[in-house]
Structure 1
Amino acid sequence: MGMDIRLTRIDDRLIHGQVATAWSKTTGIERILVVSDEVAHDELRKFLLKQATPPSIKSHVITKQQLLEVYRNQLFDGMKIMLLFASPKDVLEVVEAGVDLKAVNIGGMRFCEGKKMVTNFISMNNEDVQSFVKLADLGIELEIRQVPTDRKTDLIQLIKKEKML
């Protein structure tokens, strides 16, 4: 049976107002699992993410290894879950380790040195592109939407259009 992953999202802001309210309503989730080795070891960021979580939903900040452990055991069987990641590389690592995902929603990847802006809220470098291409090759749908009401945009088409492939 396993956990019922309703949404997997990449957003380097992780839990923030928009995600928390719009996506949790649309997907009917009960828990948000923030999967980030970095944030899992940062008490302040963990505390702030808990504050940003809607009252009706439980949130946990876990490492990639912890995700693999809870994914394999029955602890969250049937539980409606949103997985939140900060980077495509992290998503690829857990998929390659056996987490079965059908689709990944790309929310926000902020601009920094060495990245190219592909939309006004998504910037990526070559490593990001390679991770996305591998995910797409594994048959995972990659769609860009900030909020559920946005029209889906195919990320790979966008990467091709931007000549990043």
Structure 2
Amino acid sequence: MAADILLTRIDNRLVHGQVGVTWTRALNANLILVANDLAAKDPLQQKLMSTTADSSGADIRFFTLEKTIDIIDRAADRQKIFIVVKTPADARTLVEGNVPIKAINVGNMHFAQGKTEITKKVYVDAKDKEDLLYLAGTGVKIYIQDYPGDKESEVNDQLLKNV
């Protein structure tokens, strides 16, 4: 039986109030899986994110991308999983590693040098564009949506044409 992955979200802040409470509750997730190599090795970051997850009632795990790929198929049936990654590249690594992701929500990707504004909260560069279009090309539903219930913007060539 495949892991029950409710949603994967790209958010450069990883788990914060919006993700740890609003999204987790809207999805009815009982496990937040942070798939990020740096967070998997950073106890302080884990402590801060765990506090946020606790307020939603969900468990939280911190795995490297490789560990996520290696063990996702061992998830228990009762686990309703919400995966959070930092970048489109992280999401692409999981999809290439055969993690059964059906939908990717692009949340926050902050402004940085060389990035182009797509929405008020999503800025991408050429590498992000390449990874996002790769993901869209695999048949994964990929869209930008800030909060549950907000309008969804499909990620496609048209949306990313100016990047």
Q: What TM-score does the superposition give when structure 1 sets the normalisation length?
A: 0.92
Work out the CA distance in 2 between the residues paired with 1:116 and 1:76.
40
Root mean square deviation, CA, Å = 1.3
Residue 52 of structure 1 aligns with which residue? Answer: 52
Residue 30 of structure 2 aligns with which residue? Answer: 30
**Stretches of structure 2 lacking an aligned partner (at least 5 in a row):** none
Tell me, yes or no, if the aligned pair for 2:36 and 2:65 is still in contact at 8 Å. Answer: yes
**Stretches of structure 1 lacking an aligned partner (at least 5 in a row):** none
Residue 14 (1) aligns with residue 18 (2): no
Give SS of 2:130's match. Answer: helix
Work out the CA distance in 2 between the residues paired with 1:93 and 1:135.
10
Work out the CA distance in 2 between the residues paired with 1:134 and 1:33.
23
Q: CA deviation at 1:54?
A: 3.4
1:13-71 deviations in Å (ceiling 9; x for gaps):
11111122221222111000000001111121111111111331111111011111221
Residue 100 of structure 1 aligns with which residue? Answer: 100
Work out the CA distance in 2 between the residues paired with 1:123 and 1:76.
36
Give the letter for the 1:46 counterpart. Q
Tell me, yes or no, if the aligned pair for 1:2 and 1:76 is still in contact at 8 Å. Answer: no
Q: CA deviation at 1:78?
A: 4.2
Please give the residue correspondences for 1:125-144 in structure 2 after superposition, counting only pairs within 5 Å.
125-144=125-144
Tell me, yes or no, if the aligned pair for 1:70 and 1:76 is still in contact at 8 Å. Answer: no
Work out the CA distance in 2 between the residues paired with 1:95 and 1:78.
22
Q: CA deviation at 1:128?
A: 0.4
Please give the residue correspondences for 1:142-157 in structure 2 after superposition, counting only pairs within 5 Å.
142-156=142-156, 157=158
> Structure 1 residue runs of 4+, over 4 Å off?
none
Give the letter for the 2:8 counterpart. T
Residue 71 (1) aligns with residue 86 (2): no
Give the letter for the 2:69 counterpart. L
Give SS of 2:54's match. Answer: coil
